[in-house]
Structure 1
Amino acid sequence: MTEHSRIPVPAKDARQSKSLFERAEGMFGESNFSAAPVPRKLAEPVNRPVARTAAAPAPEAAPATAPVGPPSDLAPQAPLAAAPVASPASVATAPVAAAPNQLPRIDFSDAVHHVDRDQLEYHGLLNPDGPVTTLLEEFRIVKRKLLQTARASQDPLARRILVSSPLPNEGKTFCAINLALAMAAERDGEVVLVDADVAKPSILSLLGLPKGPGLMDALANPAIAVEDCVIATDIPGLFVLPAGNQTNADSEYLASARTPQVLARLTQGAPERLVIFDSPPALAASPAADLANHVGQALVVVRADKTGQSALEDALTLLSTCRDIKLLLNDASFSPSGRRFGDYYGYGG
């Protein structure tokens, strides 16, 4: 073992009486420590706004001449503040405020197409000309949550809503159409319902609208403007964008750099306009996950007593690039509170 008794120990009082710097000075033998010199005048800051100071009045300057004309022709003006005189260096480094980029509003075709109300009732969808029903009240609650998020968010993507489901036959198209019909009833908004289920498009047939070019055509062909493919309906505030012609590269087109540009044109210059995408089931086709990158809200439809937990978890994982995902329970026959909105208005069922 090491003999500790032979190790010299400095005096206790001496160590406690000296500071850390004093002990370092004694150890390294440096006795001329001094602070670095500080210049009296510091260099001017770079890339900062020039301080505004009042300019000294020029001696014996001639007074400005007022414009000739009757006083009624001149609008009242606020007094002008003296502008600072900047040196060439400060002019080069001073930041210049860029003018806001206000894009012009994009409107759709004036040709109005009739929505078949009989088709809506046949398929159990909302009839905008019909009475208040339980179904309408349910979707009023659903739309209110989505509208609240879209209006409160500063992110323009919040105005794009993806409607999907884990598996087929869970009612996602039924919910997408009814949600669009309910939102179109808002007094101060417009809705574009996009049939993004390219493999099995059905919105045009359910609404009784004519076929035509759509989303995939605008993505595949830069010469086609997406706004020219939008169909205006006779339901105030409701527009429909067809799926378009199917290709073998639908997922690749949706994942291309052109997709954000095409989708942005659907709401350009129209902050009151929302876009609802009826996408394929998340576990059945890849476009749902591709579209999740371009929306701010996602509504996942799950069917009561049918959708499994593992399927739902897998679907949520695929759609996780969307930061706001909500669940909608479809075809539920039991309500814990026992409420039935339609009965209050006299229209149960």
Structure 2
Amino acid sequence: MEEEFDKQDPSLSFDFKGFLLRILSYWYLFVISVLIGLGVAYYINVRKLPVYQLSSLISIKDDQNPFFTSNTSLTFNWGGISDKVNTAVTTLKTRSHNEKVVEELQFYIQYLKQGEYQKVDVYGQSPFKVTIDSLKGQVLDTPIGIRFLDAQNFELFLQLEEAPETRKAMVYADQTTYQVPLPKQLKKTYRLGEEIDLPFFSGKVIPANRTPQVGEVYYVEFLNFDSVVKQYQTIRVNNQSKNSSVLELSLMDNNKKKIVDYLNTTAQVLSRDMLHRKNLFATKTIRFIDSSLAVKARELEGVEEEMNKFRQENRILDLTEESSSLKGQLNVLDVEERDLQRRLDYYQILEEYLRSRSDYSNVPAPSVSGIDEPSITTAVSKIIALSEQRSSYKYSVKEDFPAYADIDRQIDATKTVLLENIESSKKIIQRQLNQIRQEIAKLESQAGSLPKEQQDLLKIQRRYEISEQTYQLFLSKRNEAGLVKAANVSDVQVIDRAKDTGGYKIGPNTGLNYALAIIFGLSVPLVFVFLLVFLDNKINTLKDLERLSPIPILGIIGKSKQKSNLVIYNQPKSSIAESFRGLRASLQFIYRKKEIQGTKTVLITSSVSGEGKTFCSMNLASVFAISGKKTILLGLDLRRPKIFNDFEISNSVGIVDYLVERKTLTEVIQPTNYQNLDIITAGAVPPNPSELLMGEGMEKLMEELKKDYDYIIMDTPPVGLVADALNLTRYADANLYITRQNYTQEGMLKMINEKYAKGEVKNISLVLNYFQQKAKYGYGYGYGYGYGYGAYGNSYHEEDPKASWMKRLFKKRDKNT
């Protein structure tokens, strides 16, 4: 058994059952910790504002203009639905878009009212609105109080506990900030709608929604514009399904009215911006045509005045029949010449644009010049489509995106073919133009034979009709462009507007907080108990004792709650008394097994003071005396004598006096008040206790005592402090090594284990003292030797009255000494 113990490392084993039972012993810590955690969770929950989440649905559709044709369309709707959806998703989260929404809703102005624990947002419920002068500064993050005196008058107040000399203010027109002086206290009375001009607040308080009640108090707080925009950039934009054009917009906030307004307004702003971009080309075309119409109108008006003046001066009302015939033929040729020249000019402009630009999204539309050649219109449309597609990628991909190179290759290929077609068309138009000009020259030569007045009038009317036709053409194109723009609709369609229909509360998650509180409340004491067990190096259970030492365990002694150490005489029916009787029986078994006749001796020692060896010595001697055996108790702890007080005897003389031959044996033996029990106390503390106990006087003392006594009980010093007890083991038939539950440290057994393993100490047994039958120490059972602790029921035992759990919780532990 000794060899097996030597090979085994006691520190490697862990008593899981004991650990669990020890956790249960600290149940009150778990209860207190959980209650504290729940209290903290409740404190947090009741002070947290509710969080709501609402959503809306919009669709990014591909609405084609009903007036779209290859000849009349001034805009191109390319890129596909998916690109528009990606662009819309990105736009909804951009800073610039959310700046527009925040500015439109003025969400940088916060309306507050004092709640039960803090100020709460009452946007949409306050009886007033604030309009500010955006060119003047408004103090930031400072609640400005408004207390209504009646339905029309209010008191504006400012009351800060610790007001700094200045605070930051913002001019919302350009979002610049500066420091503004701020008074610690201010009270001023105003009327609704009255201009307010203070260093920290400039604007008006105007009525809204309902009539205010007298005494109602509200607060207005101005927030940093950029911070508010950043807050709303967290809006969630999700596709309903893969490749779907339907987007779900959702937002979380403490105020449902704010969520509703923001979701609906962000959709409106997106729709407005996308329609604006869609109409941008048509708008630019209309602006160009309007400027051209103004020029042609002045030109037409000038020619008309010139013609009327000529008729008046020359008294000619109209051309002759011959002149009219020539004018008709010339007008037809003039229209064709102008049409061809306009088309030729467009080709020149388009060619120059294609050769000098890299962005082709603003390529002039062929319809402006009346070009309907399929190869030209198709190629221009394709280049614009590819350019728009390339531009759309910049919202979501990097410059090295592979699709960029593919698009550029397609644009270059289409541009090359288009330039070839342009060159071919230009040659054809130029030939046609030369033919028409030759015909015009022939007709003009025929007109030379007409009278001079007829020739001049013919020229003026030709110019007038050319200007009028050009004007009518531009006017037609202007109407066409206006019709296209008016027919355009936004690609954003609201499917389901955001609306508060009740509910939608998603937080705070009070249940989670309580669950975390319980987990935290259980974890803290669990860690505490684990650390106690991990760092605890004391003997707490019988299994600890068995694990740490190969020395057999003879018995256990329970915890005594009496002030006196004489448990055997004071409570002979108690469980502790029974444990000593069991210990007595175990010793007698040892004596019989070793065939010891005559006087039996027992040496009692321990590792250090305080483990209860004197307590065990006195009660073991008492239990032998009660059995009718003549017993003597020797106080051999010469350095710290103790056994005399409980027996109410004197320590003036003792073993020391006998060993130094100052007193005889009869003079040092002191009878007690109890039958069959005598005591020899230690006496005065000597300068050389070890030498006295090792001398011949000790041997002589033991021989003389064996003549008169049946049992000799030796209370010796702790072996962990001095070596006296080891020297006295030669006089003992049985050695009892006392350990104390939750007191004796594990390392204290190392020395006695080594002595036992080497055979220097024999006939030794362990006794566990101060044992409590509680789960805190792992196991609540008696030991196999003797009767054990708790071997009898209440009908046999005379138990100590139990204190209330409150007293037991806070009562200090008594020590068996």
With normalisation by structure 1, the TM-score equals 0.59
Is residue 293 of structure 1 aligned with residue 738 of structure 2?
no
Map residues 231-250 of structure 1 onto 2, 5 A cutoff: 231-250=670-689
Partners in 1 of 2:569 and 2:715 — Cα distance? Answer: 20
Equivalent residue for 2:650, pick from 210, 221, 232: 210
Deviation at 1:322, TM superposition (A): 4.2
Distance 1:175 1:346, change over 3 A: closer
Letter paired with 1:196 = L
Which whole-Å CA distance do the structure 2 matches of 1:129 and 1:274 have between them? 22
Counterparts of residues 216-295 of structure 1 (less than 5 Å): 216-221=656-661, 224-268=663-707, 270=708, 273-295=710-732
Distance 2:639 2:659 in 1: 16
Rounded to whole Å, the distance in 2 between the matches of 1:299 and 1:185 is 20
CA contact (8 A) 1:190 1:274 kept: yes
1:227 and 1:316, CA in 2 relative to 1: closer, same or farther beyond 3 A?
farther
1:121: Cα distance to partner?
Answer: 5.0
* Greater percentage in strand: 2
Structure 1: any 5+ residue segments left out of the alignment?
A: 1-119
Aligned to 2:580: 139
**Cα displacement string for residues 157-195 of structure 1 (whole angstroms, at most 9, x for unaligned residues):** 9711111111111111111111111111113x1110111
Check whether the contact 1:133–1:342 (CA below 8 A) recurs between aligned residues: no
Query: Could you tell me how far apart the structure 1 residues matched to 2:664 and 2:642 are?
Result: 22
User: Counterpart of 1:169?
Assistant: 610
> Quick one: distance in 1 between partners of 2:720 and 2:597?
27
Provide closer, same or farther for how the CA distance between residues 316 and 257 of structure 1 changes in structure 2, counting only shifts above 3 A.
farther
Residues 291 and 156 (structure 1), Cα distance of their counterparts in 2 relative to 1, 3 Å cut: farther
1:185-239 CA-to-partner distances (Å, cap 9, x unmatched) read: 113x111011111111010012211233211221122x63223311112211100
| Rounded Cα–Cα distance in structure 2 between residues aligned with 1:127 and 1:135 | 8
Distance 1:180 1:292 in 2: 18
1:69-218 correspondence to structure 2 within 5 Å? 121-128=562-569, 130-151=571-592, 153-155=594-596, 159-187=600-628, 189-218=629-658
- Give the equivalent residue in structure 2 for 1:345: 796
Letter in 2 for 1:170: E
Is the Cα–Cα contact under 8 Å of residues 158 and 297 in structure 1 kept in the other structure?
Answer: no
CA deviations on 1:226-282 (whole Å, 9 max, x unpaired) are: 2331111221110000102222211011112332112111111x4x61111111111
- Matching residue's letter, 2:792: F
Larger radius of gyration: 2
Whose helix proportion is higher, 1 or 2?
2
Q: Partners in 1 of 2:593 and 2:664 — Cα distance? A: 30
Q: 1:56-95, CA deviations, whole angstroms, 9 ceiling, x for partnerless residues?
A: xxxxxxxxxxxxxxxxxxxxxxxxxxxxxxxxxxxxxxxx
Q: Which residue of 2 aligns with 1:41?
A: none
Question: Sequence identity of aligned pairs in percent?
Answer: 22
132 and 342 in structure 1: CA distance in 2 versus 1, 3 angstrom threshold: farther
Aligned mates of 1:316, 1:279 — CA distance in 2 = 18
For 2:92, the equivalent position in structure 1 comes to none
Alpha-carbon separation, structure 1, partners of 2:715 and 2:669: 15
Q: Deviations over 1:264-314 (max 9, x none)?
A: 11111x4x6111111111111221112112212110111123323331131
How many residue pairs match? The answer is 226
Cα distance in 2 for residues equivalent to 1:232 and 1:244: 15
CA shift in 2, pair 1:217/1:171, >3 Å: same
The 3-state SS of whatever aligns with 1:183 is: helix
Counterpart residue type for residue 766 of structure 2: L
Change (3 A) 1:202 1:342: farther
Candidates 315, 333, 336, aligned match of 2:781: 336
Question: Which whole-Å CA distance do the structure 2 matches of 1:299 and 1:235 have between them?
Answer: 24
Tell me how far apart the structure 1 counterparts of residues 717 and 770 of structure 2 sit (CA, whole Å). Answer: 19
Report the more deviating stretch, 174-183 or 318-327. 318-327
C-alpha change, 1:214 and 1:301, in structure 2 (3 Å) is same
- Counterpart of 1:312 in structure 2 is 749
Distance 1:274 1:307, change over 3 A: same
Secondary structure at 1:149 match in 2: helix
Report the Cα distance in structure 2 between the residues aligned to 1:300 and 1:157, rounded to whole angstroms.
Answer: 23
Q: Give me the whole-angstrom Cα distance separating, in 2, the residues matched to 1:211 and 1:259.
A: 19
CA–CA separation in structure 2 for the residues paired with 1:252 and 1:277: 17
State whether residues 157 and 296 of structure 1, in contact with CA within 8 Å, keep that contact through their aligned partners in structure 2: no
Query: Partners of 2:732 and 2:665 in 1: how far apart?
Result: 17
Q: Deviations over 1:4-34 (max 9, x none)?
A: xxxxxxxxxxxxxxxxxxxxxxxxxxxxxxx
Q: Which has the higher contact order (CA 8 A, sep 6+)?
A: 1
Q: Give the direction of change, closer, same or farther, for the CA distance of 1:151–1:235 in structure 2 (3 Å limit).
A: farther
Which letter does structure 2 place at the counterpart of 1:132?
Answer: K
Give the letter for the 2:567 counterpart. Answer: L
Asked whether the 8 Å contact 2:672–2:678 carries over to 1, the reply is: yes
Matched residue type, 1:194:
L
CA distance 1:317–1:206, shift in 2 (3 Å): farther
**Match for residue 433 of structure 2?**
none
Distance in 2 between the 1:281 and 1:288 partners? 7
Amino acid at match of 2:796: Y
Structure 1 stretches of 4+ with a deviation exceeding 6 A read: none
* Cα gap change, 1:144 to 1:168, in 2 (>3 Å): same
TM-score (norm 2): 0.26
CA contact (8 A) 1:293 1:321 kept: no
In the other structure, the counterpart of 1:303 is 740
2:565–2:619: 8 Å Cα contact kept in structure 1?
no
Task: Indicate the RMSD between aligned Cα atoms, in angstroms.
Answer: 2.6
